[in-house]
Amino acid sequence: MTKAKTPRTRSPRGVLSDKPVCVRLLPSERQKLERLALQENRSVSSLARLVLLEGLAVYENRSSRAS
């Protein structure tokens, strides 16, 4: 007898999955995101979140130096 598989979440704990952020991309930007996600064996959403987090860190560092 096999166990029923329990659904696995891909989001880290605490992520507001009921409050998505929509982003409009150019077709070329979407293609890059899809290609990289495939290479890294991630979903497009997962990769977009990682890119956003890395970009936020860069943006915050740049903003703090300008102050």
pLDDT tens, residue by residue, 4-60: 666 555 677 888 788 889 999 999 999 999 999 999 999 999 999 999 999 999 999
pLDDT at residue number 66: 82
Is the model's pTM score more than 0.85?
no
Question: In which domain, by residue range, is 36 found?
Answer: 27-66
Q: Is residue 40 part of a domain?
A: yes
Q: Is residue 9 part of a domain?
A: no
Q: Are 47 and 36 in contact, with CB atoms under 8 Å apart? A: yes
Q: Is residue 13 part of a domain?
A: no
Q: Is residue 17 part of a domain?
A: no
User: Residues, the chain, total?
Assistant: 67
Tally the domains of the chain: 1
53-61's contacts with Cβ under 8 Å and 24+ in sequence apart are none
Average pLDDT of the residues in 57-67: 88
pLDDT at residue number 49: 93
Q: Is residue 62 part of a domain?
A: yes
Q: Is residue 57 part of a domain?
A: yes
